[in-house]
Amino acid sequence: SQQGEEDPQALSIQEGENATMNCSYKTSINNLQWYRQNSGRGLVHLILIRSNEREKHSGRLRVTLDTSKKSSSLLITASRAADTASYFCATDALTGAGNMLTFGGGTRLMVKP
C-alpha cells in the first residue's frame, strides 16, 4: 500500500531552473527518504531525513520535512539535463518493523537543455 504521494506527477523545466517536488504521507514516520530512478534502471538513494530534522542539504539537493503536515519537499537547484529522471519519496513508518520503506508513485522530472 502506498504511504507517500508525490506531487506533481510530472514536471518539465528548463536547464538552470529549480525543481520542487512534494511528498505527502499518512502515518507517523521514523524517517523519510528520496530516491532517483533513471529510465529503465534501479532506484538510487539520494537523501534521508529523520523525523526530528526539518531540513537537510546534499550538494544541489535540499529536503524539508514538516511532520505536523505530514509532508516533505525535494528541491533541486540549478537543474541540469542529467537530472531528468523519476523521483520517489519513501517513508519508514514509526509503527513498522525494522527498516521497511513504503514508496510513493513518483514525480517524473524532465529538464530541457
Applying CB under 8 A, does 22 fall inside the site for other proteins?
Answer: no
Neighbours of 103 (CB within 10 A): 16
Query: Using CB under 8 A, which of the segments 11-19, 34-42, 58-66, 68-76 binds other proteins?
Result: 34-42
Applying CB under 8 A, does 110 fall inside the site for other proteins?
Answer: no
Report the candidate in 41, 34, 40, 83 with the shortest Cα–Cα distance to residue 57.
Answer: 34
Chain centroid to CA 14: 20
In whole angstroms, how close is the CB of 99 to other proteins at the nearest point?
A: 5
Applying CB under 8 A, does 65 fall inside the site for other proteins?
Answer: no
Identity of the residue, 50 or 112, whose beta carbon is nearer to other proteins in the bound complex: 50
Contact assessment for residue 5 and residue 24, using Cβ atoms and an 8 Å cutoff:
yes
Cα distance between the two ends of the chain: 36
What is the binding site for other proteins (CB under 8 A)? 1-2, 30-31, 33, 35, 40-45, 48, 50, 88, 90, 92, 98-106
